[in-house]
Each structure stands twice: as structure tokens, then as C-alpha cells.
Amino acid sequence: MGYRPTRRTNDAVSPPILTQVKDDKGNEVKGVLHGGQTGHVYAHRASDCSLIRFSEAMVPQENMWVLLTAEGARMLPGANGGVEWSPMAIDAAKGLTFAINLHQPMTYHVESTPYPAGKLWLGGAFKVIPGEQQWGNITAVDYNTGKIRWKVKTAQPMIGGIIATAGGLVFAGEGNGLLKAYDSATGGKFWRFQAGAGVNAPPSSYTVDGKQYIVVAACGNTQLNYNRGNNIIAFTLSD
């Protein structure tokens, strides 16, 4: 029997987040949040993993579960997502989770190739559609309702991760080398820095002697062919 793969954007590769979530009756329960390659944020009960809700779509969706064809079947989100492996972040005081997304229109093809002896083998191919615009976004989702609170479009598909601070900021990097800070309540742009290479790793935060720092790697990305680099950059946060 031949192998006919279905598209893979239903896998959940973004790390899950544990937090208190309101269920469908308004009661707070221990929940699990994760970002799907479908372009939704999902909230589950931690006790039994049952689904509480999923968010409004953060990116366009079309032919979500299409089967591949020899000519190529159009699909959105593309094979990378939605949310790829990029970690999300939360602001529990605001009930918001922040996700970065990719918009890459693709066609899904069956292509018969010999099995390459232990190496990656898909039994098909995902191909970006020439001439169609690719972009990304940063989206804030109210995980107690599933509603999108705000969204900021980016020039390129987003991959890497995002962090939220207690001071009301979110930080995320882009493939064009920009690291940006946003107001976590509104999505308003607060600050930017050009790192010289793709900022495609999740920022982190730490403190030394009471001073808070944001640190991120600017090393690019091979999956989306963003400019390579070799730097880890730290910034201080001032009052």
C-alpha cells in the first residue's frame, strides 16, 4: 500500500504553557496553552487535557486539511504554520498570551522519491507559491475568551519566540535583524534595535544586582534563510 501523507500543520511543536484559565462556566482551572501550526491558540484543562477553547484564527486559513496532489494543492497556513516551534509567552495579570506567526501560501505535492536510508523523507513536498506575499505577525490572545486583543503585522514570516515582562512589554525579533519591544496591552511599538542578523531565537530575561536585562541570540535561521550571525546581545531595562 502506498504512503500518502496529509499536511503536517496540525502538529503542536510550540512549548506548552501552564497557567490558570477560565473554563466555559467562568471558573478558574489549571490550564495548558499551546500554539498550533493551524494558527490558533488552544487552551486545555491540565487535569485531563480536554479542550476548553481555541482562539480566533491569527493567520488566514484555506484548505486546512487538503491532501497532496501531483499538481500541488493550495493550503493556508503553509507547512510551517501558523505558530511554528516558536515559544509563546503570557501576561497572567492581563490574561493574555503572545504568539508569533508565519503566513506562507504553499502548495502541497506528492513526489515519489527513494527512501534516503535514515534521513528526512516526506513522501511529498511543500512549495512556496511564487509571487504571493509572505509575512508574519505578533498576536495577543485573551486566553479566557479566545478573542484576539491586538495584532501587529511584520514584513517577514516570524520564527523564534517572544517574551513578556512584568513591566508591560513584549520583545520579539525578526528575520531582518530587528529586535522590537511592544506595549503588551495595546501592541504599540515602544523600541527597536538592529542586530545585524536574523533575531530568530526567543529573548530571555534575567537580573543582576537588581537590574533587569533582556538577552537574545542574533544568529539567523536556515529554515527561512534569514541572514546568519554569531552574536548574543544583552540590553538593560531602565525605569
Q: What is the pLDDT of residue 124?
A: 82
Cβ(172)–Cβ(203) below 8 Å: yes
Across 8-12, 21-25, 200-204, 225-229, least confident range: 8-12
**236: confidence class by pLDDT, cuts 50, 70, 90:** very high
Instruction: With beta carbons less than 8 A apart as the criterion, state whether 121 and 113 touch.
Output: yes
3-state secondary structure string across 134-194: CEEEEEEEECCCCCEEEEEEECCCCCCCEEECCCCEEEEECCCCEEEEEECCCCCEEEEEE
Sign of CA dihedral 182, 177, 141, 22: negative
Greater model confidence, 148 or 3: 148
Which pTM does this prediction carry?
0.91
Which tens digits make up the pLDDT trace of 123-132?
788 899 999 9
* Residue 150 CA: distances (Å) to CA of 128, 141, 153, 160: 27, 7, 10, 20
In which band, very low, low, confident or very high, does the pLDDT at 9 lie, cut at 50, 70 and 90? very low
> What is the model's pLDDT at position 6?
47
Beta bridge partners of 73: 108
pLDDT in tens, 19-49: 999 999 999 999 999 999 999 999 999 999 9
Whether 7 has a pLDDT exceeding 70, the answer reads no
Q: Does the pLDDT at position 3 exceed 50?
A: no
6-10, 26-30, 58-62, 159-163 — which is least confidently predicted? 6-10
Mean pLDDT in the chain?
Answer: 92
Q: Cα separation of 179 and 218, whole Å?
A: 9
Q: How confident is the model at residue 239 (pLDDT cuts 50, 70, 90)?
A: low
Q: At 220, which amino acid appears?
A: G
Looking at per-residue pLDDT, the higher value among 81 and 157 belongs to 157
- pLDDT exceeds cutoff 60 at 81: yes
CA-CA distances (angstroms) from residue 207 to 7, 169, 190, 204? 43, 16, 21, 11
Q: What is the pLDDT of residues 187-222, one digit of tens each?
A: 999 999 999 999 999 999 999 999 999 999 999 999
Residue 12 has pLDDT above 80, yes or no: no
Question: Cell numbers of 57, please?
Answer: 484564527
How many other C-beta atoms are found inside a 10 Å radius of the C-beta of residue 215? 14
* pLDDT at position 2: 40
Helix (H, G, I), strand (E, B) or coil at 10: coil
> With pLDDT > 90 as the criterion, what percentage of the chain qualifies?
82
CB 198 within 8 A of CB 229: yes
Among all chains, which residue has been given the C-alpha cell 523564534? 160
pLDDT digits (tens, 9 = 90+) for 104-144: 999 999 888 888 888 888 778 889 999 999 999 999 999 99
